Amino acid sequence: MTFYEAVGGEETFRRLVHRFYEGVAEDPLLRPMYPEDDLAGAEERLRLFLIQYWGGPGTYSQERGHPRLRMRHAPFVIGDAERDAWLKHMRDAVDELSLPDELENRLWDYLVYAAHSMVNAPAR
């Protein structure tokens, strides 16, 4: 069984990413980085990416090509504060899934690692 299946498939990633963007929508540091009129596109891209990463359908790369996430984040200034804000909303979203500890820890460790690897600006 893939990790994607073990955590409950598409529905779980839909809930995770939707809850995450509810936090982003209210965040004074992060909200201005995203398209003004619409977070739905960003929500869909992150959901499809995570589904693909964890062994679900490869729709993300069919639509967007190779992820190359560091390159795709280059237009945005991501310092420690942005990373920590991103992780705070992700933590809230992960908590609401109430996954078994082992699955939760695997998901969370990846998100922490990925968020740290996306930092592209020195602390201000």
Interface size with ligand HEM, residues (CB under 6 A): 21
- For position 13 contacting ligand HEM by CB under 6 A, the verdict is no
- Give me the least distance between CB of 5 and ligand HEM, in Å please: 19
- Confirm if 31 and 24 have CB atoms less than 8 A apart: yes
Judged by CB under 6 A, which of 15, 79, 115, 120 binds ligand HEM?
Answer: 115
> Residue 82, Cα to own-chain centre: how many angstroms?
13
- Confirm if 12 and 93 have CB atoms less than 8 A apart: no
Q: Which of 96, 99, 8, 111 is nearest to 53 (CA)?
A: 111
3-state helix, strand, coil in the chain (%, to 5): 65, 0, 35
* Local structure of residue 44 (DSSP, 8 states): H
- Give me the least distance between CB of 1 and ligand HEM, in Å please: 22
- Is 66 annotated among the ligand-binding residues? no
- For position 106 contacting ligand HEM by CB under 6 A, the verdict is no
Judged by CB under 6 A, which of 16, 78, 93, 99 binds ligand HEM?
Answer: 78
Cα gap 28→31, rounded to integer Å: 6
Instruction: Pull the structure tokens for residue 59.
Output: 């729709």
Please, which of residues 14-73 interact with ligand HEM by CB under 6 A? Answer: 30, 33-35, 41-42, 45-46, 49, 64, 69, 72-73
Residues that bind ligand HEM (CB under 6 A): 30, 33-35, 41-42, 45-46, 49, 64, 69, 72-73, 76, 78, 82-83, 86, 114-115, 118
